[in-house]
Structures are given as C-alpha cells and as structure tokens.
Amino acid sequence: MKNEVSRLSLRWVYILLCTVCLAFAGVIYAWSILKVPLAEEFGWSNTELALNFTLTMCTFCIGGFLGSRVAKLIGANLSLILAGLLAGGGFVIASFMSGNIIVLYVSYALLAGLGIGVAYNVIIASINVWFPDKRGFCSGCLLMGFGMTSLVFGSILDALFANKDFGWRKTFLWFGIIMAAMICLAGFVIRKPSADVVFPEGKKKAKKKEESFEVKDMSPLQMLSRPSFWISFVYMTCLVAVGNSVISFAKDLALSTGASAALATTLVGVLSACNGLGRILTGALFDAAGRRFTMIAANVLSIVAAGITLFSVVLNSLPICIIGLCLVGLAYGACPTVGSAFASSFYGQKYFATNYSIVNFNLFAASFIATACAGLRTATDGFVAPFVLLLCLACFALVLNICVKKP
C-alpha cells in the first residue's frame, strides 16, 4: 500500500516539472520582447520579424502533429530528449547569428519551433494519463504554464537584454541551454503509471449540457471529409488570429499608446497571464455549460477584445489599451480549450490525439494573418488597419460559428 501511494505521489512531481518545462517552451509567445534587440542590432523590419513568428507557429503545429508519431516510434522519453535538444539548440545557434535573417528563421523558427511543438504534444499526452481523476486540473496547469511565459520571464529577459555585460546573445545562449536541460530532464524522469497504481475516483459533477447529436469516433480522414470540420477550422483560425497577431506586436502596441518601456514589457506579461487564466476559465465554462455555449462565448469575447483594443488605438488611450490586452489574452487562452472541446465532442476520443493536432493547425493558418497585420502596420504606419482586419475576422467567425451545429 505504501509503495502504491508512493508511486501515485510521483504524478505531482511530474506535473510540477512539466509545468516548468512548458513555461520555458512557451517562450514562443514572448516574441514581442525577444525581437526588440534583434531589430535594434540588425535593422530588420517589422514584416521580416513577423515572418519569423509566422514560421515558428507553423513549425510548432508540425511538431505537435509529429509528436504523437515520434513518441510511438521511439517512446515518450527519447522524444522529449530529442525535443529538448532541438528547442535549446535553436536558441543556442540563434545566439551566434550575424546579419543574415535566414539563420534566425532556421534556428529559432525551424529548430526551436519544431522542438517546442514535439515537447508540447508529448508532455501533455504523458502527464494526462497520470490524472484520470483530474483531467481538467492537469490540462489547466500545463496549458497555464505554457501560456504564462511572458509574465514569468518577460521582465527578466528584458533586463538581461539591457545589461551590457550580458546582452541578448548570452541571454539566448543560456535560455536555450536551460530550456534544453529542463525538457531533457523530463525525458529522463517521466515514466508511465504501472498497471497496479490505483487512482482516486474523480468527484461526480453535475452533468453538463449534452450535444444534440450522437458522438461517434471518426478517423482523421473521416473528420477531414466533414464540412463541419472546415467551417470550424476557419472559425477557429479567425479567433486565434486575433491573439496571435496581438502577441507578435504587443509591446510595440503598448508603447504606441504611451506606455514606458518597463510598463510595456509588464503588459506583455499581463497578456500572458490572461492567456493562461483564459485556458482554465474556458475549461470550467465548458464543464458547466457545454461546447456550444463555450464556442459562442469565446467568439463574442474575441469581438469585444478586438473592438476595445481598436478603440484604444484610435483614442491613443493607455488605460483602454490595458483593458484590451487583458481581454485579448483571455480570448486567446480560450482557443486551445475550444479546439479540444470541439475535437472530442464532434469526433470522439478514439482518434482524439491526432484529430486535435490537426485542429491545432489553425495556428499555422492564423500566423499568416499575423504577418499580414504586420505588413498593414508598416504600410499604414499605425495599428488601426490591423485591428480593423482582426475585428472583421472575429465578426466573420461568429457567422461561421452559428452555422456549426453537427458533425
């Protein structure tokens, strides 16, 4: 009995370790901070730097899709070690780059993005099996860690960049080494629960609102053949685009409305915190009100977030901008939970891991909208046009959302 309790207690060590790992891996969401010293030293344009964010999101999606496949071939432990070496190695290589932006694209976007995508998928899949009685809590902790990187590390990174004895090169170098070490440590430590481990029974909750259709297990090919998938995919792409685009230029946006450099960095962290909080709150809403209501609520929140942030730009109001950034973070945090709820509610649990990784390719598509917003910002020398585009996309998503009724 004591051995059983001891083995069960390992799950708390695992979830703590992996939440920290994902906090490091979530550095891709701190791009508006990381890009600042690169723009200053190399003179790269907003569009060129936005393209790096787009490519990173693309390789992150590909890494997430490959994560489950790689884990089946070589196991979760070796997959995490490989992911750590890729992610950390990308940062280390980037720390030595000169003025060739292709090196940034290959090191940061390709290697680091791919490694982080693999680590994200494998960690979530590996830890969820330890919490059959607390799946919502487990996913919430892991996703919160991934979404709150800017809050945890934003000010530290900004201070290290400004330190003449350290600078961005040493920061990239050591951050990459530490991130690789943490993810590889998870790869060495994490084990599957043995067959004799008895998990506590989960608390019975009030039954959430049922779907109006029978949920059937569908393979990825069956899912891709359904019009409902493509309508929902475009809907989620539009919502993700709002958060993705704002994350890529959040610090510049805050500066444009009168924030100091220190406050702007802090606001990127606040956005990150709201991103993490949004993931937990949306999960609770889904449990209480069901998928349909949650998808509509997330959509309305995105419309309000884009509208208020646009209003702050037009009025050049920092207080309204702060409110807008908080709402954008909450709305963006809702997206992963909505995607997960959609995949499981419409297409069942049998092929959930692969189906969900395909659904997550909305990040891939949305990242190109982020690049388009950066281009609009450069062309118009302001943020009004980008936010008009994002507001229109959020409204269009609501129309598509209403059309999605059954698989």
For residue 78, give the CATH number of its domain: 1.20.1250.20
Name the token pair of 201.
């029974």
Residue 237 has pLDDT above 90, yes or no: yes
In a domain? residue 199: no
Instruction: Give the Å distances, CA to CA, from 157 to 161, 234, 261.
Output: 6, 35, 13
Instruction: Give the Å distances, CA to CA, from 339 to 133, 306, 332.
Output: 22, 20, 11
Answer with the one of 148, 169, 189 that is the final residue of a domain.
189
Q: Which residue type occupies 179?
A: M
| Residue 148, pLDDT score | 75
d(CA 353, CA 226): 18
Regarding whether 55 and 11 lie in a shared domain, the answer is yes
In a domain? residue 206: no
Regarding whether 148 and 226 lie in a shared domain, the answer is no
Grade residue 68 by pLDDT with cuts at 50, 70 and 90.
confident
d(CA 367, CA 214): 34
Regarding whether 73 and 20 lie in a shared domain, the answer is yes
pLDDT tens-digit series, residues 285-338: 877 777 788 889 999 999 999 999 999 999 999 999 999 999 999 999 888 878
Answer with the one of 189, 212, 239 that is the final residue of a domain.
189
pLDDT tens-digit series, residues 116-167: 999 988 888 888 788 777 766 777 678 778 877 767 787 788 888 988 888 9
Cβ atoms of 149 and 247 within 8 Å: the answer is no
Cβ atoms of 144 and 208 within 8 Å: the answer is no
| Residue 204, pLDDT score | 52
Which structural domain, as residue segments, surrounds residue 10?
A: 2-189
**Domain count across the chain:** 2
In a domain? residue 343: yes
The helix/strand count (H/E) of the chain reads as 17, 0
- What is the pTM assigned to this prediction? 0.77
